[in-house]
Amino acid sequence: MNGWKLIKPFKIERSDVEDKSGAVGVSKIKITKSLLTLSDVLAYDGEIEAENVVIGSFGVGIISEAGANLFEIEKGKRVFVEATRPCNECYNCMSNQPHKCSNLLVAGEDFDGFLRDFVSVDAESIYLLPDSITDVEALYIGYVSLALSIVDKLEIKKGEYVAIIGSDSLAVILAQLLIYYQAVPIIIGENKEELEIAKKSGIYYVFDIEDNYLKEVFNITGGRLAKKSVYISDSDISVSKAFAVSSFNASVAFTGTMNKNVTASFSQAVKKQLNIFCVNTGYGNTESSINLIANKAIDLSNLEIATAPYSDVPEVLSKMENELKETGKIHDTVINLV
């Protein structure tokens, strides 16, 4: 097996990857598509520590060799492969609570990602895909799972106003999920292209950070401000914006698709006695996410997604890194391996 391995920052090479197929309960998956995201770009430029590892945040493929005695996991089935793994070493993992793992491992950072021709994984990492979900939609299952974790953590209720600071793909997916649960999302972002995508995706309240967003939120909520808020760290918007739109004693969730350092003053949060949560994983929500996408609760058709062949990965990463440097944003890129 071979894959695109990040040797060190700005150096990526096609390299042999260890084949673990043949072990009991392990299936071999032919990867057909992988998704390059912001996390991959930050690993590429050295902001995230991820040396000597195959990158590629998410992957879908076809079972080429099914493990023995595995129910419904058969050769030729199309599958999504889980992109996170519990560490199996922390207290919660050892207490049979892997969903509470304190050191969850991430593909493309802590273990080899999906920019490789084959992966060999245990049955618990494989999810069969219905025909109603396209390969590209399946690559966003991880985003939907994270959004579900945010909704659960904030205990979203019908009719609640939820301010989302950030307007990237995660923000759009989260906003649609909130609408599905009959809450009212308010997206506040700074990238005009992303804000337009949010509007096209059916989000009614969408504001530019340069607008008088605080007045808008004040008016929408009848002066109460948002009882629930979400700050997406990938956005690079000041954390103070999330605190500003939150009401007294509101709940604020810090999240993002990758572990990015954020500088913040918490004086306003203390003054308002805000309840702050951190949500960094959707682990355990994969089946629910597949059902949501299959039932068209989430519409991904408006997202700006680039595509490229497997052979062009170095050029694609370089282009994405330049795009991030120049604009502060990137376009997720689907890599076709077949």
Structure tokens at 52: 């000597």
Please report the pLDDT score of residue 47 as a whole number.
83
**What percent of the chain shows pLDDT beyond 90?**
68
**CA gap 84, 95 in Å, rounded:** 19
Higher pLDDT, 223 or 19: 223
Tell me: the pLDDT tens digits for 15-72?
888 766 556 678 899 999 999 999 999 999 888 887 889 999 999 999 998 876 666 7
Q: Is the pLDDT of residue 96 over 70?
A: yes
CB 81 within 8 A of CB 116: no
Please report the pLDDT score of residue 333 as a whole number.
95
Tell me: the pLDDT tens digits for 111-163?
999 999 999 988 889 999 999 999 999 999 999 999 999 999 999 999 999 99
Structural domains of the chain ordered from first start: 2-140+303-336 (3.90.180.10), 143-279 (3.40.50.720)
pTM for the predicted model, two decimal places: 0.94
